[in-house]
Amino acid sequence: MKAAVVEKPGVLVARDVPDPVIGDYQCLCRMLYGATCTGTDQHIIGGRFPFGITYPTILGHESVGRVVEVGRKVRHFKVGDIVTRVGAMPSADGSLQSNWGGFAELGVAVDHRAMREDGRPEPEWRPWRIHQTVPAGIDLRAATMIITWRETLSTITRMGVGQGAAVLVIGSGGNGLSFVAHAANLGAAPVVMIGSAARSDLGRAAGADACFDYRADDLKEQIAEAFPEGFDFLIDAVGKVGQANRVLALLRPGGTVAVYGVDDLDDVGLNPWKSSGTFTVYNGGYDEAEAHDRVIAFAGQGRLKAGVWLDLDVAFPLVEIGAAFEAVRERRAVKVLVRLNTD
């Protein structure tokens, strides 16, 4: 099969790799669509991912696939099911890694429920809770957004964002727009986005009450004039050094800050003397699986619309994976669809 492989930092190619061989609790999936991730994928390609990566590695973590074969102990997936977050596994000899292998023609889903029921140790099944089925009626292209939506919804819910909370989001990429949409869907008000002026319309479409250009020298003053009561939550979806500190004074005393982006994760910091009082730093992570059902419900209700993030009518073939990421780097798109099989 073909897969998108980062051979070494800066070198991304589509090439032949071995087909997966499934075990008792695994399903073979024919991969359908994937979506690019400006954060994780771009950092792996560039050799800047803040957590250890061994190259070469198969790229992609926002893909969906259709089950075509099941292992003998699989009970909760069946042939024909559409499954989220599936991807190719590392090679048996360790010569090819997977992070997380979503840009491939074939992938593997794991029946974590069956493993748990059969008494397998939790470390064996818990990581595979990301493999969840997509109900009928959801556009398979739009289903690639489920992964981003789950991660960010889990995060913002764990932070405590809810009805009437004032939320300020830094970032107008895939994650920033997701935090905006979730905050609005959870009843927060106002929801304000700091990002690229060119993406203000997307921010409003996602649910922002107002959008501000991050390049403005008087950014803090502009927002303070429009929203003098400040904010309960500040979410930095980019993680660039200094960006959160620019607007930290807008956080109300007792508020909460989360740095979700990884651009400068090793160096980004919060200066408490820039704040208006004591605040909490959220470091509770996320759990994709816990947000799956709620994301599916929001999507089904039309409250999460993939078209804000993706052009559903344009999908790059897997063999043109480099061109897909070039479109993202040139900011011609927030995210780009990749068609993983030709039929």
> Residue 15: which CATH number?
3.90.180.10
Six-digit token pair at 299?
Answer: 């999507």
* Residue after which a domain boundary falls, among 265, 281, 297: 281
* 204 class by beta-carbon count within 10 Å (0-12 exposed, 13-18 middle, 19+ buried): middle
* Residue after which a domain boundary falls, among 266, 281, 296: 281
DSSP code of residue 226:
H
User: Based on the domain organization, do 124 and 165 belong to the same domain?
Assistant: no
CA distance 78 to 68: 8
Closest by CA position to 259, among listed 48, 41, 61, 50: 50
pLDDT the model gives residue 263 = 77
For residue 55, how many other CB atoms are within 10 A of its CB? 15
User: Based on the domain organization, do 194 and 248 belong to the same domain?
Assistant: yes
CA distance 110 to 86: 9
- With respect to residue 295, please indicate whether it lies within any of the assigned structural domains: no
pLDDT the model gives residue 48 = 83
User: Based on the domain organization, do 212 and 263 belong to the same domain?
Assistant: yes
- Find the CATH number of the domain harbouring 258: 3.40.50.720
C-beta of residue 166 within 8 angstroms of C-beta of residue 139 = no
What residues pair up with 170 in beta bridges, in sequence order?
Answer: 194, 236
What is the residue range of 234's domain?
A: 148-281
- With respect to residue 299, please indicate whether it lies within any of the assigned structural domains: no
CA distance 238 to 152: 13
Q: Would you call 30 helix, strand, or coil by DSSP?
A: strand
Q: Would you call 243 helix, strand, or coil by DSSP?
A: helix
Six-digit token pair at 1?
Answer: 């099969």
- With respect to residue 53, please indicate whether it lies within any of the assigned structural domains: yes
* Residue after which a domain boundary falls, among 234, 260, 281: 281
* CA atoms 179, 184, 185, 189: torsion sign: positive
- How many structural domains compose the chain? 2
User: Based on the domain organization, do 269 and 176 belong to the same domain?
Assistant: yes
User: Based on the domain organization, do 43 and 107 belong to the same domain?
Assistant: yes
User: Based on the domain organization, do 173 and 264 belong to the same domain?
Assistant: yes
Please list, residue by residue across 236-262, b when 16 or more beta carbons sit within 10 angstroms of its beta carbon and e when fewer do.
bbbbbeebbbbbbebbbeebbbbbbbb
- With respect to residue 127, please indicate whether it lies within any of the assigned structural domains: yes
List the chain pLDDT tens, one digit each, 343 residues: 999 999 999 999 999 999 999 999 999 999 999 999 988 899 999 988 878 889 999 999 999 999 999 999 999 999 999 999 999 999 989 899 999 999 999 999 999 999 999 999 999 999 999 999 999 989 999 999 999 999 999 999 999 999 999 999 999 999 999 999 999 999 999 999 999 999 999 999 999 999 999 999 999 999 999 999 999 999 999 988 899 999 999 999 999 999 998 778 778 889 999 999 999 999 999 999 999 999 999 999 999 999 999 999 999 999 999 999 999 999 999 999 999 997 6
User: Based on the domain organization, do 237 and 184 belong to the same domain?
Assistant: yes
- With respect to residue 217, please indicate whether it lies within any of the assigned structural domains: yes
User: Based on the domain organization, do 201 and 318 belong to the same domain?
Assistant: no
User: Based on the domain organization, do 268 and 316 belong to the same domain?
Assistant: no
CA distance 190 to 163: 10
pLDDT the model gives residue 262 = 76
Q: How far is CA 169 from CA 122, 166, 211, 228, 319, in A?
A: 35, 10, 9, 16, 35
**C-alpha torsion angle, residues 9, 11, 16, 21 (rounded to 10):** 20
- With respect to residue 154, please indicate whether it lies within any of the assigned structural domains: yes
User: Based on the domain organization, do 6 and 54 belong to the same domain?
Assistant: yes
User: Based on the domain organization, do 77 and 170 belong to the same domain?
Assistant: no
pLDDT the model gives residue 265 = 73
- With respect to residue 13, please indicate whether it lies within any of the assigned structural domains: yes
pLDDT the model gives residue 343 = 64
- With respect to residue 327, please indicate whether it lies within any of the assigned structural domains: yes
User: Based on the domain organization, do 133 and 173 belong to the same domain?
Assistant: no
